[in-house]
Structure formats: C-alpha cells, structure tokens
Amino acid sequence: MAWCKWAERGKVYIDMSTIDPDTTRRVGAAVRATGAEMLDVPVGMGPAQAATGQLTLMIGGNASVVEDCKDVLDTLGGEQFYCGRVLAQRYHQDCQ
C-alpha cells in the first residue's frame, strides 16, 4: 500500500477509521510488513465528544503498544476498552 511508505520500525499507526474487517486486516498486514505497529481504534460518540476528548475508544492491538500510546489515547478518549488483538473489537461491533 503506497500510503504507508512513512511506516517503519518504531512507529505506530492508529487506525480510527470506519472500515470493514477485511480492509483492517489488509492495512494491518501492510503496516506490520514495514516493521511498524498498528492499533485498531474504532470510536463511539460524535463530533462534540471528539472536540472535548471524550470519545469512547475500543482498542485492539499489542498490549505493550497500547501502553506506549497511553498519553495519545487518553487525549482522544474518555472511556477506553482494550479488546485484545487487532480486529477483535470490529467483530464485536458487527455482532451488536
């Protein structure tokens, strides 16, 4: 994927987009192939909560990477739910 030419070992891509699980899987594979890490972080709530840093975050990815990104995630969201590996929360959302 040409858009991830920035990715390299030591960097983290936080995906907060509204995309389907197959696209998330492809993006994750492309990012990991560069040596970078990816967190899959779909959000709940809306623009008002985004403006005040009160989004609900459903976080998927390596737990140590989540911990490394804690300050960024805390700025973005109020409630945070760690769901395990990348894609775990996407499947949970599909089931609701």
pLDDT value at residue 96: 47
CATH number at residue 45: 3.40.50.720
How far is Cα 21 from Cα 27, in angstroms, rounded to an integer?
A: 10
pLDDT value at residue 12: 94
- The secondary element (H helix, E strand) that includes residue 57 is strand 55-60
How far is Cα 20 from Cα 11, in angstroms, rounded to an integer?
A: 23
Rounded average pLDDT per 10-residue block, the chain, 96 residues: 72 90 88 92 90 92 95 92 75 49
pLDDT value at residue 89: 54
Residue pair 39/13 in contact by the 8 Å Cβ criterion = yes
Is residue 4 one of the residues assigned to a domain? no
How many domains would you assign to the chain? Answer: 1
Is residue 41 one of the residues assigned to a domain? yes
Give the structural domain span for 71: 13-95
Is residue 78 one of the residues assigned to a domain? yes
